[in-house]
Structure 1
Amino acid sequence: MTLFEFAWKNISRDKRNYIYYFVNCVCSVFVFFLFSVLSFHPALKVIDTHSAMGMILAVGEAISVGFSICFISYSMRCFLKNRSRQLGLITILGASKKQLNRLIFMENMLVGLLSVGTGILFGLIFSRFFLDVANRLIGVSNFTFYFPTQAILLTVVVMGLVFLGIAYFTPKCIRKKEVVRLLKAEFKDDKPQKLIPVLVVFFLLVPILLWAFAGASPSARTMQSSVLFPFLLVLAAVLGTYLLFSVGMRLWMAVQIKGRSNIRLLCVGDQRAKLKTNVQSMTISAILYAVSFFAVIILFSVSANVKTETEKIFPYALTYNTWTEQADAARDLAVIENELQDLPGYKMTDIRLWYPDAESRSPIMAQSDYNQIMDFLGRESITLSDTGVYLVAGSADQSLDKIPSGTEQFFRANQLSLSVEGQSDQVITLTGFTRGICVVSDAVFRVLESQLTEKTITAFLYDDWENNSESPDRIFTALEDTLQKGDANVVSAYRYYRSSQIQNNLTLYIGGMLSFVFLLAVASFVYSRLYSEVDKDCWKFRSIVKIGLSGKELSSVLSRLVFMILCVPFGVALVYLWVGVFITERYTLVSNIPTALAFTAFLIVLQIILYLWVRNAYRKNVFQKVYES
């Protein structure tokens, strides 16, 4: 029998150990293939690879590959641990270190090749379904099914290299162990945790991150915008979670020992024996849970609130303004009015901005003009004294806290000492068109008017603008010459809305797929922790049952174990989720809290159902093995 035949017989006969590793590999290939199918779709050929949508697709695939490497490597480690007894027996039979390495390499490559083929096959079967989902979610109708030759080739090359690298380096990571250690590795308890290095790194990172978050210095802002900052943040979260579970488990064991439960010693002994494995599994599960939940909530909220966000950034359906004196404003406005005047809810108004000089981007506005716009938009009007000024934000993502320096100097030059009597974070022009608007009383404005230069923007509103693409398209076509020359400018809320909708929905689709992969990984870690050592646990429970452990007490032990592995990381992830939601409230135009509340309630119900199902299935499996004799 050749070494290849021996490797194949190992795979075909030891299905229990191989199926866990094989399924994880197939899932990784399947998800990467679906990303590739979407990336190479003919409908997306018009997308520039350097554009936002192109970057979203590229980042999605990069994350998929990186996660696949980590996920498959972790699965391989668990797989080799479960096979350590077999490797010890092979060594006893006379296999050399070189032969053992070649055997492991061949087995990995066989599993990898089968995984690539199976993943692509499943991808072809389900690609039509996922393209239909993309059609509905992204909001386009041309994601039709096609035969993805390029996606197949890319998946074979990329995932083939991933499996080749893992198959090549895995045998080199196996240290030369004694035969006895290999035979007992499957039944050995965990090594003691080394928390000192983790504590040192964590307490070095925390001050740096706090300084970057709270600091207002240029170096702190540079740190926030650095590429390394997100990685340091994730590293600190992982280390902090690891320490939380490590210390928490030790405290919980101390509490259990002081209790009066009949099973406390058994529970504490089991938790102490597998402390390192449990903490690692719970840490990874909590982080993946938190990332998945947070990503889905934020992306879903952003995707569902595109219209609301668009109206905050640009409160009108259409605006027109001139840039040069060559523009024929009367003719252009007549074209726009003729196109829009018959639409339901049509109305128009002029936004009159007055600038102290040609270089200023902080205009002044009379109170009466501002209140006219407030009435046009259905907002509350304001009342100012002759010594007051009302500040209006120029960008939807930031408020104006003080009078701009140039405008303040202009007021002082005219012997005016004005104080801020109010402010609004709601824009009345396109976000970024101004740096902020200062509204003054009509009496003050009449004193200043002769020194100001007027700039007029004509704004239009009509109902159902988010579904009307024809009217803006006809207007842009009719004014094409003027717009190309740069004499005038027309801004359509629909075009921004539609572009944002497609981009946000594409991000939601990709983020949803990645979150689904992360949740599959959590399921894999839970399965690995519960079932990879079920024989050892059952051997231990069978011995204790013989000396008096009742079925009810055994059931309680198993329930506690499943709760600890499955529900505790889930609870920690929910805490992280809400911390992230409250932090992002400072940076979002639309609140994510309503979406987070509904999603959290749904997750809790789903987790309860999942816990009951996993607990019953695991308990049934253990009871069959313990009481089979």
Structure 2
Amino acid sequence: MTLFNFAYNNIKRDFKNYLYHFLSCVFSVFIFFLFSTLAKHPALKIVESGSTIGIILFMASIVSMLFSFVLILYSVSNFLRNRSKQFAILNIIGASKGQFNKLIFFENIIISIFALLVGIITGIIFSKIFLMIAQSMIDGLNLYFYFPLIPLLLTVFLMGGLFLLISLIAPVILRKKRIIDLLKKEELAEKNYFLLSLAAVIVILSPTIYFHIKKEFFTFIYILDLLSCISTSYFIFNLIFNVYNFFMEKSGRIYVNNNLIKLSNFKYKVNTNIKTMAATMILFSIILTAFVYIVGAPMNVTEDTEKIMPYSYMYANWEDEAEGERKAKLIADELKSADGFKKLTISYAELKNKARTVRHIILSNTMYNEVADFLNREKINLSDNEYFLVGVDGKSKPILPDVVKNEISDHGITKEIGTDKRIISVSGYFTSVTVISDKSYESISSALVKDRIYAFTQSDLTNGGSEDLANIKKLIGFEEGKESLISYIFYYDFENLTRRLVSYVGSILCISFLIGIASIIYSRLYSSVEEESKKYSIMIKMGLSKAELKDILASTLRWLFILPFITALIISWIIISIMNQMIVTSYTNLTIICSFIYLLTEFILYMTIKRKYQEKILNNI
């Protein structure tokens, strides 16, 4: 019998022990295949790889592959560890190191091949439903069913390569284990690597912080960020447990009730437990933070688009003022039949700059009030020494640039009376907008460049479409590079499509991560049921009641599940608070609602897992 046949028969005769690892591989293939089916859909051929949508689809595939690698590697590690005695016996009866490694390699290759087949077949079966759901969530795309040949080939080569890599890594996991350790694995308590985790944090976190302070961003820094997150999470939970253990010992509370057994039980698997907590916390943080934006992304698209484009159309001619006036009249004649149509010419003075895209502009008080009336905003009244700042991106509070400050201060304008984050042109068109009194404007603008933009609006900004924009450009003889014509509906369609795509892709990833959390906790709790049952059966004979045993088991689960969840919830709130300062929309209210949903879901999951785990242990005793 060859080693390959031996590996195949091992899997065939004892498939139950291989099932968890096999399902992890199948699930990874299934998710990657579905993402590839969406990304390579013929309806998305028009999407450029460097566009926002292209980047979203590409990053989703990368994230799913990285998640698959971690999940499968974690699964392999536990799978091999659970078969330690079998491997030790093989070594005792004469299996060489090379044969031992080949056996593990062949087993993983066989599982990987079957996982690829099952994952791809399952993916093809469910791809139609997947595309139908995607089409219902993502407006404007006809995601019809097609035979996904390219996604199939990508899955075979990329996921197959990933499986091959893991199969090569797998033998290394047990390579340094002594046979006696493998045979008596359940009798060995794990070491606490607190000092090593502290050293890892210092070594990894220090350069990461340095590069961020210096704002030196490159590809490798993202790897440093990930390693910093993992090492810091591991260290923090290690620190929390050591501090808690120290407090319990010094206060004497360790001898109250069953605290000694609870702590000893956690310390027995301290390294595995803390790794599980760190992984669970990281995945929870991603899910909890992402869920807020997944729910909120498709909401308020109309209002949010107005924050980056407040008009139906905006036109500007950069080279010929008379020609710009003529074309603006053509646009107005084309749009004047729309309900609530209005037109405004916004004249301003611009500080001279060699770069066309840098536009520090100054508005007169009267001109700003006309814009405010046009956009239904509050008017202002400035004295000759006062100025007012207007937003340019719809997100951040406007500030007075030094170049503008120097210009207006020479005319005695030094007092700021207010700011408004809302824009008066498409987001990013102006670099800064400063409003001064009419008298001051007449004095300052004489030495500056005069320019103007034309704004057109209507009652319903969403009326029209990309075809209308194309028709207007054709009507005026639009010249790229010499003029600009932007429509609200262009941004609206783009925002709507992007947000819904993010929501859909993010939902699938969140579900994957939730399954990943369940997989990690399942692996930690249920892979050692036999070992735990033997230990607790002896303790019950010594007088431990079933109620006390349930409390001890619940204590372990609280460490593994509840503490990481609470930590992740706090981290999510911090991240969302920071993001609220950087984006157009505030998600605070939605976060509060989602937090209650999180807590309810967490309670249900905790109670379910606790009951199942307790029943499993008690049934085995």
Q: What code does the residue aligned with 1:280 have? A: K
On the 8 A contact 1:285/1:522 being kept in 2, the answer is: yes
Q: Deviations over 1:413-466 (max 9, x none)?
A: xx5454333332222122222221221212323444555553222212223323
Give the match for residue 307 of structure 1. 302
Q: What code does the residue aligned with 1:189 have? A: L
Question: Alpha-carbon deviation of 1:276?
Answer: 0.9
Counterpart Cα distance in 2 of 1:87 and 1:487: 74
On the 8 A contact 1:109/1:167 being kept in 2, the answer is: yes
Give the match for residue 596 of structure 1. 591
Give the match for residue 107 of structure 1. 107
On the 8 A contact 2:345/2:453 being kept in 1, the answer is: yes
Q: What code does the residue aligned with 2:6 have? A: F
Q: 1:621 to 1:325 in 2, by over 3 A?
A: same
Q: 1:4 to 1:203 in 2, by over 3 A?
A: closer
Give the match for residue 606 of structure 1. 601
Residues 1:433 and 2:432 aligned together: no
Q: What code does the residue aligned with 1:430 have? A: V
Question: Alpha-carbon deviation of 1:210?
Answer: 5.2
Residues 1:275 and 2:273 aligned together: no
Cα RMSD for the two superposed structures: 2.6
Counterpart Cα distance in 1 of 2:191 and 2:407: 69
Partner of 1:304, secondary structure, is: coil
On the 8 A contact 2:190/2:267 being kept in 1, the answer is: no
Partner of 2:419, secondary structure, is: strand
On the 8 A contact 2:204/2:228 being kept in 1, the answer is: yes
Counterpart Cα distance in 1 of 2:12 and 2:463: 57
Counterpart Cα distance in 2 of 1:102 and 1:231: 32
Q: 1:227 to 1:172 in 2, by over 3 A?
A: closer
Quick one: which of 535, 540, 543 aligns to 2:535?
Answer: 540
Q: Deviations over 1:304-345 (max 9, x none)?
A: 344333222221121122233386445534443344333333
Give the match for residue 621 of structure 1. 616
Give the match for residue 362 of structure 1. 360
Counterpart Cα distance in 2 of 1:399 and 1:527: 48
Question: Alpha-carbon deviation of 1:254?
Answer: 4.1
Give the match for residue 564 of structure 1. 559
Q: 1:262 to 1:42 in 2, by over 3 A?
A: same
Q: 1:110 to 1:204 in 2, by over 3 A?
A: closer
Counterpart Cα distance in 2 of 1:455 and 1:326: 8
Q: What code does the residue aligned with 2:200 have? A: V
Partner of 1:320, secondary structure, is: strand
Give the match for residue 390 of structure 1. 388
Q: What code does the residue aligned with 2:570 have? A: V
More deviation in 531-540 or 579-588? 579-588
Give the match for residue 530 of structure 1. 525
On the 8 A contact 1:335/1:478 being kept in 2, the answer is: no
Q: What code does the residue aligned with 1:545 have? A: I
Q: 1:264 to 1:453 in 2, by over 3 A?
A: closer
Q: What code does the residue aligned with 1:264 have? A: N
On the 8 A contact 1:327/1:487 being kept in 2, the answer is: no
Q: 1:172 to 1:264 in 2, by over 3 A?
A: closer
On the 8 A contact 1:388/1:440 being kept in 2, the answer is: yes
Q: Deviations over 1:516-553 (max 9, x none)?
A: 22222111110011100000000111111112111111
Partner of 1:363, secondary structure, is: strand
Give the match for residue 80 of structure 1. 80
Question: Alpha-carbon deviation of 1:18?
Answer: 0.8
Counterpart Cα distance in 1 of 2:319 and 2:64: 50
Residues 1:423 and 2:415 aligned together: no
Give the match for residue 140 of structure 1. 140
TM-score, normalisation: structure 1: 0.91
Q: 1:324 to 1:440 in 2, by over 3 A?
A: same
Partner of 2:46, secondary structure, is: coil
Counterpart Cα distance in 2 of 1:306 and 1:226: 33
Q: 1:593 to 1:123 in 2, by over 3 A?
A: same
More deviation in 29-38 or 356-365? 356-365
Partner of 1:423, secondary structure, is: strand
On the 8 A contact 1:138/1:505 being kept in 2, the answer is: yes
Matches within 5 A, 1:347-496: 347-355=342-350, 357=352, 361-402=359-400, 404-405=402-403, 408-409=406-407, 412=410, 415-448=411-444, 450-466=446-462, 468-469=464-465, 472-473=468-469, 475-479=471-475, 481=477, 483-484=478-479, 488-496=483-491
On the 8 A contact 2:390/2:432 being kept in 1, the answer is: yes
Residues 1:245 and 2:237 aligned together: yes
Matches within 5 A, 1:498-517: 498-517=493-512
Q: Give the share of equivalent positions with the same residue, in percent.
A: 31
Partner of 1:466, secondary structure, is: coil
Matches within 5 A, 1:12-51: 12-51=12-51
Counterpart Cα distance in 2 of 1:446 and 1:484: 33
Q: 1:230 to 1:579 in 2, by over 3 A?
A: farther
Counterpart Cα distance in 1 of 2:150 and 2:565: 39
Counterpart Cα distance in 1 of 2:3 and 2:353: 82
Q: 1:229 to 1:164 in 2, by over 3 A?
A: closer
Counterpart Cα distance in 1 of 2:298 and 2:549: 48
Counterpart Cα distance in 2 of 1:559 and 1:160: 40
Residues 1:198 and 2:193 aligned together: no
TM-score, normalisation: structure 2: 0.92
Counterpart Cα distance in 2 of 1:525 and 1:569: 13
Question: Alpha-carbon deviation of 1:283?
Answer: 0.6
More deviation in 50-59 or 600-609? 50-59
Q: 1:449 to 1:242 in 2, by over 3 A?
A: closer
Question: Alpha-carbon deviation of 1:467?
Answer: 5.2
Q: 1:89 to 1:312 in 2, by over 3 A?
A: same
Gaps of 5+ in 1: none
On the 8 A contact 1:362/1:407 being kept in 2, the answer is: no
Partner of 1:402, secondary structure, is: coil
Q: 1:625 to 1:371 in 2, by over 3 A?
A: same
Counterpart Cα distance in 1 of 2:347 and 2:338: 25
Q: What code does the residue aligned with 1:365 have? A: L
Partner of 1:139, secondary structure, is: coil
Question: Alpha-carbon deviation of 1:56?
Answer: 2.5
Q: 1:477 to 1:421 in 2, by over 3 A?
A: closer
Q: 1:322 to 1:107 in 2, by over 3 A?
A: same
Question: Alpha-carbon deviation of 1:158?
Answer: 1.5
More deviation in 114-123 or 428-437? 428-437
Counterpart Cα distance in 2 of 1:3 and 1:203: 45
Counterpart Cα distance in 1 of 2:568 and 2:349: 52
Counterpart Cα distance in 2 of 1:92 and 1:207: 46
Q: What code does the residue aligned with 1:436 have? A: S
Counterpart Cα distance in 1 of 2:87 and 2:350: 81
Q: Deviations over 1:472-498 (max 9, x none)?
A: 3364354352x1365543210111221
Matches within 5 A, 1:285-296: 285-296=280-291
Gaps of 5+ in 2: none
Partner of 1:479, secondary structure, is: helix
Question: Alpha-carbon deviation of 1:211?
Answer: 5.6
On the 8 A contact 1:8/1:107 being kept in 2, the answer is: yes
Question: Alpha-carbon deviation of 1:555?
Answer: 1.4
More deviation in 33-42 or 558-567? 558-567
Counterpart Cα distance in 1 of 2:440 and 2:325: 31
More deviation in 148-157 or 458-467? 458-467
On the 8 A contact 1:396/1:589 being kept in 2, the answer is: yes
Q: What code does the residue aligned with 2:426 have? A: L
On the 8 A contact 2:309/2:491 being kept in 1, the answer is: no
Give the match for residue 71 of structure 1. 71
Q: Deviations over 1:55-87 (max 9, x none)?
A: 332222222222222221111110000011111
Q: Deviations over 1:204-260 (max 9, x none)?
A: 5555555666x5xxxx23x2x333444333333322221221122223334555335
Q: 1:273 to 1:411 in 2, by over 3 A?
A: closer
Q: 1:403 to 1:237 in 2, by over 3 A?
A: closer
Tell me the matched-pair count.
615
